[in-house]
Amino acid sequence: MTTQPNKVLETFPNPNPARDYHIHMEIPEFTCLCPKTGQPDFATLILDYIADKQCVELKSLKLYMWSFREEGHFHEDVTNRILDDLVAATNPRFMRLTAKFYVRGGVFTNVIAEHRQEGWQPAPFVELTRFGGQSNTRG
């Protein structure tokens, strides 16, 4: 596998396709360039997904993210482009990409884009309490 930035997203078979399970990744070193000024934009990307048949391979994801370093993109554009590429590569049941861009001109920008496979519904959320039903607050 190459160690140069590229747009190839490799996948591997989901080891448990019968189960909906949450895959969470944080990419704290994402960079691209401002299309207006050419100055670098820095972001933390948070990827949450429920795989169907394929999962994204981590090294290829790292090299893919690195490939944006010298490209100019508006925050909204790059977030949606990355989500579209990940969905095309993995065809997940559900995927959410949260892009938390650091301050530029006194403004923080967060962009959240989602994909949901047609007909897929999440299982109801189950909240577990501590043993004995005790609260975490002191009274």
Q: Is the pLDDT of residue 136 over 80?
A: no
Residue 48: active-site member: no
Please state whether the predicted TM-score (pTM) of the whole model is above 0.85: yes
Q: Is the pLDDT of residue 19 over 90?
A: yes
Residue 32: active-site member: no
The residue annotated as part of the active site, out of 20, 32, 41, 55, is: 41
The residue annotated as part of the active site, out of 20, 32, 34, 52, is: 34
Q: Which of 98, 104, 97, 85 is nearest to 42 (CA)?
A: 104
The mean predicted confidence, pLDDT, of the chain is 92
**DSSP structural state of residue 35:** T
pLDDT at residue 3, as a whole number: 81
Domains of the chain: residue spans and CATH: 24-118 (3.30.1130.10)
Strands (E), the chain: 11-13, 22-33, 40-50, 54-56, 94-104, 107-116
Q: Is the pLDDT of residue 54 over 70?
A: yes
CB 59 within 8 A of CB 1: yes
